[in-house]
Chains A and B, each alone.
Chain A
Amino acid sequence: MKFSSVLVLVLIVVGLVFTVRAFVENTSPYVKVRDLERHSRNVHVALTPIKETIRFDLKTMTLTFEGKDETGVLKVVYPKGKPNNFEAATQVVVIGDYKNGIFEARDMLVKCPSKYQGTASAQR
Chain B
Amino acid sequence: MLTGYLVVWLGVLFALMATALYTSSIRRVGRVEPPGKLARQEPRPPLEWNDPDPLLRWARRMFALAFLMILATEGVLQYALITGRYDLQYVFNFSERSLPLWYKIAGAWAGQEGSFLLWAIWTGVYGLLLMRSAGGYERWVMTVYSAIVLCLMGILAYQSPFAPLPPPPENAPFLRANFPPRDGIGLNASLENIWMTIHPPVIFSGFAALAVPFAYALAALWRNEYQEWVVRVRPWAIYAATMLGFGLALGGYWAYETLGWGGFWAWDPVENTSYFPWLFMAAALHGLMLQVNRGRMTRWNPLLCALPFLLFVYGTFLTRSGVLAEVSVHSFDALAKSALGILILMMGGGTLLTFGLWAWRYRQAAAFGGRGSRRADADSTELSTPLAGEQPQERPPKGFSREAAVRWGIILLIISALISLVGTSWPLITKLVRGQPVSLQPSFYNQMHTPWVAITAIVLAAAPMLRWHGMSLDDILQRLTKSWLMAVATGFVLYFLGFREPITLFVVVLLCFTAYANLGAIWRRVRASRVTVGGFLTHFGLAVGIIGLILSNAYEGKQQVVILQGQDTLAFGYRWRYLGMTGDAQQFGDPRFDKFNRVRIEVARHGEKFIAEPRFYLDRRRADNNSVVWPWIRRWWDHDLYVSFFAPPQVDASPLLAELREGENRQVGDYTLRFVDLRAEGSMGQEGFRAIARVQISKPGWKQPVEVEPFRLITQNGIVPVPVTLPDGAVLVIGGMDVGQRLVEFRLLMVPGHPETQPRWVIPLEVYYKPFTILVWLGPPLALIGGLLAAIRRARDGRFALAQLNAAPMPAPKPHRVRSHNGAARRPRTKQPLKFFSDPTMRSTPE
Contact = CB atoms under 8 A, between A and B. Distances in A.
In the complex, which of the residues A8, A25, A82, A116 has the most CB atoms of chain B within 10 Å of its own CB atom? Answer: A116
A87 interface: yes
A30 B473 contact: no
Interface in B61-95: 93
Contact of B110 (A4, A12, A25, A116): A116
Contact of A122 (B188, B261, B440, B821): B261
B439 interface: yes
A87 to B, nearest CB: 5
Contacts of B473: 3
Interface stretch (B370-378, B622-630, B691-699): B622-630
Given A19-B448, A61-B560, A116-B188, A81 B764 contact: yes
- Chief secondary structure at chain B's binding surface: mixed
B722 interface: no
Interface string B180-195: 0000000010110000
Interface residues of B, number: 76
A74 interface: no
Contact of B441 (A28, A31, A82, A121): A28
A98 B477 CA distance: 54
Contact of A26 (B196, B415, B440, B458): B440
Interface stretch (B208-216, B327-335, B513-521): B327-335
A84 B645 contact: yes
Interface string A17-45: 01101110111111100000000000010
Contacts of A12: 411-412, 415, 455
A93 B441 CA distance: 12
A101 interface: no
Interface in A86-110: 87-88, 90-91, 93, 95, 107, 109-110
Output the residue of B268, B441, B458, B762 with the most chain A CB within 10 A.
B441
Interface string B317-339: 00100000011011111000000
B813 interface: no
Given A23-B440, A82-B647, A114 B331 contact: yes
A119 B331 CA distance: 10
Contacts of A11: 451, 455, 458
Contact of A117 (B332, B399, B627, B821): B332
A12 B426 CA distance: 22
Interface string A38-82: 000000101000000000101001000000000000000000111
Contact of A124 (B261, B426, B623): B261
B812 interface: no
A115 B562 contact: no
A85 B646 CA distance: 10
B562 A30 contact: no
B342 interface: no
B404 interface: yes
Contact of A88 (B404, B458, B625, B823): B625
Contacts of A88: 622-627
B248 to A, nearest CB: 13
A93 B75 CA distance: 41
B101 interface: no
B331 A29 contact: no
A2 to B, nearest CB: 7
A115 B93 contact: yes
A107 B266 CA distance: 14
Given A30-B327, A88-B626, A115 B112 contact: yes
A4 B400 contact: yes
Contacts of B196: 118
Given A23-B423, A29-B430, A85-B626, 19 more contacts: A2-B823, A3-B473, A4-B399, A18-B447, A23-B448, A27-B444, A28-B438, A30-B326, A30-B427, A56-B647, A83-B646, A84-B646, A85-B627, A87-B624, A88-B626, A90-B623, A119-B188, A120-B331, A122-B266
Interface of A: 1-5, 8, 11-12, 14-16, 18-19, 21-23, 25-31, 44, 46, 56, 58, 61, 80-85, 87-88, 90-91, 93, 95, 107, 109-124
Task: List the 8 closest A-B pairs by CB distance, nearest first.
Answer: A26-B444, A22-B447, A15-B451, A121-B259, A82-B647, A29-B438, A22-B448, A88-B624
18 contacts: A2-B404, A4-B400, A11-B455, A14-B451, A19-B451, A25-B443, A26-B441, A30-B326, A31-B436, A58-B764, A88-B623, A115-B188, A115-B331, A115-B333, A116-B191, A117-B270, A119-B330, A121-B255
